[in-house]
């Protein structure tokens, strides 16, 4: 996949699933099911020990899949994920050390922000697209509307608490390019190994409308 920038990646689909796996085999099944439903971008988090191996397997599923690493909280995560096959990184917050490590690893980063100070710090480091996390607890649509005034050029990928019912409302905002969500992989479906249900949810998410910008 030739896509290399966060700006390109976030435009590949309206929803980036946020994934945490019990084991790498589960991760491979889920990644295949999501891809079959038209989801080309995955965020596989480091919240479990299976994360890096799941990234490695998912990255090999298809030439058009773009696998990212989520929950980057330490600088060393960047090189580890890049070596496993990740094409981009997502962090819940941002430090200068994580920024520098992402550059050193050649891993495009979608950094997390929650406050105006977070946003200014990210913009000073050159970021034009950021993750708003946790989106709903931090103010949701009202907060994103408020951000648009002082930061009119900044684009967001809100993540945290978004549902299939509320996702269209977020996607309709002028400063939102995509959303992150965990609803594509409900625990019941994973426990039952109901990969067809994951594909169904992925297909519905892929068909969500978003304005052309």
Look at phi and psi of residue 55 and say left if phi exceeds 0, alpha if psi is from -120 to 50, else beta.
alpha
Active-site annotation holds for 28? no
Question: Given 40, 43, 87, 155, which residue is catalytic?
Answer: 43
CA distance 186 to 144: 27
Active-site annotation holds for 43? yes
CA distance 137 to 186: 20
In the three-class reduction of DSSP (H, G, I as helix; E, B as strand; rest coil), residue 45 is classed as strand
Which are the contacts of 103, defined by CB distance < 8 A and separation ≥ 6? none
CA distance 20 to 45: 6
Question: Given 40, 82, 87, 131, which residue is catalytic?
Answer: 131
Tokens of 72: 């980057």
Q: Which residues are catalytic?
A: 43, 131
């Amino acid at each position: 996949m030739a896509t290399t920038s966060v700006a390109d990646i976030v435009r590949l689909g309206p929803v980036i699933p946020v994934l945490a796996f019990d084991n790498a085999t589960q991760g491979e099944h889920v990644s295949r099911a999501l891809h079959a439903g038209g989801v080309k971008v995955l965020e596989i988090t480091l919240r479990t020990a299976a994360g890096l191996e799941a990234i490695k397997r998912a990255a090999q599923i298809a030439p058009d899949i773009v696998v990212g690493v989520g929950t980057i909280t330490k600088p060393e995560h960047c090189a580890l994920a890049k070596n496993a096959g990740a094409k981009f990184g997502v962090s819940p917050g941002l430090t200068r050390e994580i920024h520098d490590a992402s550059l050193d690893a050649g891993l495009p980063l979608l950094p997390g922000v929650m406050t105006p100070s977070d946003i200014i710090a990210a913009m000073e480091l050159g970021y034009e697209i950021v993750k708003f996390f946790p989106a709903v607890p931090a103010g949701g649509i009202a907060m994103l509307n408020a951000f648009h005034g002082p930061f009119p050029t900044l684009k967001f990928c809100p993540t945290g608490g978004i549902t299939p019912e509320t996702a269209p409302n977020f996607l309709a905002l002028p400063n939102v390019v995509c959303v992150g969500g965990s609803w594509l992989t409900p625990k019941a479906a994973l426990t039952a190994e109901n990969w067809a249900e994951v594909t169904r949810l992925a297909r519905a998410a892929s068909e969500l409308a978003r304005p052309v910008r």
